[in-house]
Amino acid sequence: MPKKLIKKYMPDHQTIKEHKHLKIFGDLIHDPNLWHMNRRSVSGAFAVGLFCAFVPIPFQMILAAAIAIVIRVNLPISVALVWISNPITMPPMFYAAYKLGAMVMGEEPSQMDFVLSWEWISSEMSLIWEPFLLGCFIFGVISSLIGYFTIRLLWRLHIIKAWQERKSRNV
């Protein structure tokens, strides 16, 4: 995986270090290992970010940052990937998670008439929270594993290609 491509779209370190929500991590955020771009760090960051994208809580970025700091993977990538679940993608992602959870639990998914209100969310969530959270967990684990191994594979293929090009130039 080319570092230049990733760095092109990644915000600079100073911007992230000064983010108001990440100040709670204090000096931990200054660990240089959180900013390295290597196969382990980037693939781990993909796993963290993709898993946290399926965690149905507000401020998923803070959770992703905390996990990235604890396991010392690339912080900006972990935080950025959480935005896969955004206001546009969240409804289909979470509905699919609910349906998967219901299927795994052997329940029939209930037919709901969606109304965007706090009353509807609180009343329906009390009925569907178990299959919903199970589906979110399953999707989170599967997507993080796919992301982790895909990045590892792409990075390895990029390295092999670079070595072959270097070898052909030296012949």
pLDDT at 66: 92
Domain-by-domain residue ranges, the chain? 3-170
pLDDT tens digits along 127-166:
788 898 999 999 999 999 999 999 999 999 999 998 998 8
Question: Which tokens belong to 16?
Answer: 């992230």
**Residue 72: left if φ>0, alpha if ψ -120 to 50, beta else—which one?**
left
Tally helices (H) and strands (E) across the chain.
7, 0
Tell me the average pLDDT across 12-32.
69
Q: What sign does the CA torsion over 31, 64, 49, 145 have?
A: positive
Task: Give burial (CB, 10 Å; 0-12/13-18/19+) of 64.
Answer: buried
What's the whole-model pTM score? 0.79
In contact, 5 and 44? CB cutoff 8 Å: no
Cα dist. 123→11, 63, 102, 108, 110 in Å?
Answer: 40, 26, 18, 18, 13
pLDDT at 8: 65
Has residue 38 got a pLDDT over 80?
yes
Tell me the average pLDDT across 7-29.
67
Question: Which tokens belong to 25?
Answer: 């991590």
Residues 9 and 4: their CA atoms lie apart, in Å, by 9
Has residue 2 got a pLDDT over 60?
no
Q: DSSP assignment, residue 83? A: G
pLDDT at 41: 92
pLDDT tens digits along 64-87:
999 999 999 998 899 999 999 988
Q: In the chain, pLDDT over 70 holds for what percent of residues?
A: 80
In contact, 148 and 44? CB cutoff 8 Å: yes
pLDDT band at residue 59 under the 50/70/90 scheme: confident
pLDDT band at residue 117 under the 50/70/90 scheme: low
pLDDT band at residue 13 under the 50/70/90 scheme: low
Average pLDDT, the chain: 84
In contact, 106 and 100? CB cutoff 8 Å: no
